[in-house]
Amino acid sequence: MTRYFGQQESYTKTAEIIPFPLSNTSSSSGTNFEALLTDVFTNPAIENHLKGIIEGAVMDAWVKSHLTNFGKHDDPFDAIYISELKADNINSPDIEKISKYLNIVDLSSSVTFDDEWED
């Protein structure tokens, strides 16, 4: 795969996704809602079936949020990540401490180095 300048790397993660059923597979005769609820809470087979549906939906959501977005935080220039940042605390004493040295003179240019950095 060719990556272009600035393009985020893509990841392929395989995971078993339990599909959320699109049609109701449970059966119920008539429109007696109360009887249906009674069935749900008393019939272990229906209870297990609903449990499977809910667990499948939860797992599906988890897989989508965790695996398919796995590389999201990998890009330090990702605007979405910036939106998730929380503000850092700033202590007034820190500012006062730094400001106290505002007029300090830097002598660094009086020492140079004869090495591979060529400066």
Residues binding another protein (CB under 8 A): 2-5, 73-74, 76, 81, 85, 88, 97-98, 100-108, 110-117, 119
Query: d(Cα 39, Cα 46) in Å, to the nearest integer?
Result: 7
CB of 85 to another protein, least distance (A): 8
Q: Which is nearer to another protein, 16 or 116 (CB)?
A: 116
CB of 62 to another protein, least distance (A): 17
Q: Which is nearer to another protein, 4 or 41 (CB)?
A: 4
Judge residue 40's burial from the number of C-beta atoms within 10 Å of its C-beta, 0-12 exposed, 13-18 middle, 19 or more buried.
middle
Residue type for position 112: T
Q: Which is nearer to another protein, 39 or 75 (CB)?
A: 75
Q: Alpha carbon of 56 to those of 29, 42, 52, 66, 72: distances in Å?
A: 26, 22, 6, 15, 24
